[in-house]
A and B are shown apart, each in its own frame.
Chain A
Amino acid sequence: NAGVTQTPKFRVLKTGQSMTLLCAQDMNHEYMYWYRQDPGMGLRLIHYSVGEGTTAKGEVPDGYNVSRLKKQNFLLGLESAAPSQTSVYFCASSSSGTGGETQYFGPGTRLLVL
């Protein structure tokens, strides 16, 4: 099993450009999450999904959109990138959402917005 994979690993954008980050998991997990990690801030939840076709906002959703068209994939979109979105983005997944399950993280995508 590959676990959780993310593409791309690194990207540089100019302000105003758009891009999509792809997260894929092969563990048949229902729940998927997008976090951003900034120095001194820990991991902050952007959006999450409790199943195919459903998404919900997390703590810092502004400026991002997500889609979960297939159970194994969770896409994070930036429509008009801003320098404040420079961060490391982590995707994670977990099995049913009772809260006692660990989350499995991808390797991260480092995004630089100039």
Chain B
Amino acid sequence: ILNVEQSPQSLHVQEGDSTNFTCSFPSSNFYALHWYRWETAKSPEALFVMTLNGDEKKKGRISATLNTKEGYSYLYIKGSQPEDSATYLCAFLNNNAGNMLTFGGGTRLMVKP
């Protein structure tokens, strides 16, 4: 079983604050790192798929970076808005796992107006 850790588990910020959280994963046999956004009572939705060391991806106010050598990815949200409130999941794929993702426990973000 692969160990994918996300921190913090939960985070409360004020509207307008910028924030970031971490996904840690095994640095060996890396293939891909996925980020998903999961709103309460909805389905997880894909944000990014990152495959190369040093990758940076951006979608609106949300961006992510990837360091495969040390086994971590950061997700950044600039100027948080209440609609950003959700659980953010990362999922790791290694070379030996076919298309089986191992998910972290998620970071629950709550943005107060």
**Which chain A residues have a beta carbon within 8 Å of chain B's beta carbons?**
4, 31, 35, 40-45, 48, 50, 56, 58-59, 90, 94, 97-108
Contact = CB atoms under 8 A, between A and B. Distances in A.
B43 A4 contact: yes
B21 to A, nearest CB: 14
B59 interface: no
B103 A42 contact: yes
A42 B43 contact: no
Contacts of A4: 43
Contact of A102 (B42, B46, B51, B106): B46
A90 B44 contact: yes
Most buried by B among A31, A48, A99, A104: A99
Contacts of A45: 100-102
Interface string B84-108: 0000010101000011111111100
Interface string B1-28: 1001000000000000000000000000
Given A41-B105, A100-B51, A102-B34, A58 B46 contact: no
A103 B46 contact: yes
Contacts of A100: 32, 49, 51
Contact of A99 (B99, B103, B106): B99
Nearest to A101: B49
Interface string B26-67: 000001101000000011111001010000000000000000
